[in-house]
Amino acid sequence: MRRASPRARFRALILPGLCTLVALGVLCGLGVWQLQRLAWKEALIARVAARMQFSFVPWAPGEAEWPSVNAEQHEYLHVRITGIFRHDHEALCYELLSDARGKFSGPGYWVLTPLETAGGATFIVNRGFVPLDRKDAATRSEGQVTEKVTVIGFLRLSERRSWFTPADDPARGVWQERDPIAIAKAYSLARTAPFFIDADASANPGGLPQGGETKLVFPNRHLEYAVTWFGLALALIAVFSAFALKQLRHRGRA
């Protein structure tokens, strides 16, 4: 029986080898991405824990500071602002609220309302959560306060959008991400801060919106996920090595 040449044996492994390399690259890339997410999550947890040790600062960053506001120095600062709500520009952001601290949870909306200060600056305030059946402001009219109010809460930056984020619907006042810049642009709000304020649990008249739902505890399983992806990469190498060895032996005997 004639043996296959070494060149022919290796040629038969080119296509499986290329497919294995592509899959290996994907698995290793996912593992590296999870390690990056791990570093980000640990930094976030440390930052929030540090901010929780301080009482609120008496003001939110002023207009001169807005361009320099960043996650490392400012996000989750406990701030206070005073002004009048612009309920005519209320924005709703869909949310599936779990582990709620208040009475309401499940599908509903964050209520984001511009608050105009005496100096003319505007801050988007996430006043809290409302269930689906209380989406219409008329169903919670008691909470549409018109007098001057003081809001205490956490400074938050715009949420990141992904390729899978549905489009916003400004005509209906419905948004997919809490994005103060996009809301200000849609409603032609001048001098609007590029961040928003998550209101604390201070009760609103009528009980809605339900504030104090800022997430301050974060699950962190990224190391576990990274180990899983790298483990799958090692398993793939072992499977291909066994397959290649078997093929070479088989073709050698053919």
- 8 Å CB contact between 109 and 208: no
Q: Report how far residue 130's alpha carbon sits from residue 194's, in angstroms, rounded to the nearest whole number.
A: 24
Q: For residue 16, what pLDDT band results from cuts at 50, 70 and 90? A: confident
Beta bridge partners of 249: none
As a whole-number percent, the residues of the chain with pLDDT over 90 amount to: 31
Residues in the chain, overall count: 254
Would you tell me the crossing angle of helices 14-51 and 222-253 to the nearest 10 degrees?
170
Q: What is the mean pLDDT of the chain?
A: 84
- Check pLDDT > 60 for residue 254: no
- Check pLDDT > 60 for residue 253: no
Convert the pLDDT of each residue in 142-201 to its tens digit: 999 999 999 988 898 887 777 777 777 778 888 888 889 989 998 999 899 999 999 988
**Residue 2: its pLDDT value, please?**
53
Residue of 72, 68, 81, 207 lying closest to 154 (CA atoms): 81
**Residue 90: its pLDDT value, please?**
93
Mean pLDDT to the nearest integer, 92-107: 87
In the chain, the amino acid numbered 115 is L
Highest mean pLDDT among 30-44, 67-81, 98-112, 114-128: 114-128
- 8 Å CB contact between 145 and 209: no
Determine which helix (DSSP H) or strand (DSSP E) holds 249, and give its type and residue range.
helix 222-253
- Which residues have a Cβ under 8 Å from the Cβ of 153 and sit 6 or more positions away? 78, 79, 125, 126, 197, 198, 199, 200, 211, 214
Q: For residue 14, what pLDDT band results from cuts at 50, 70 and 90? A: confident
**Residue 240: its pLDDT value, please?**
85
Report how far apart, in Å, the C-alpha atoms of 39 and of each of 19, 70, 170, 188, 240 are: 31, 17, 35, 38, 32
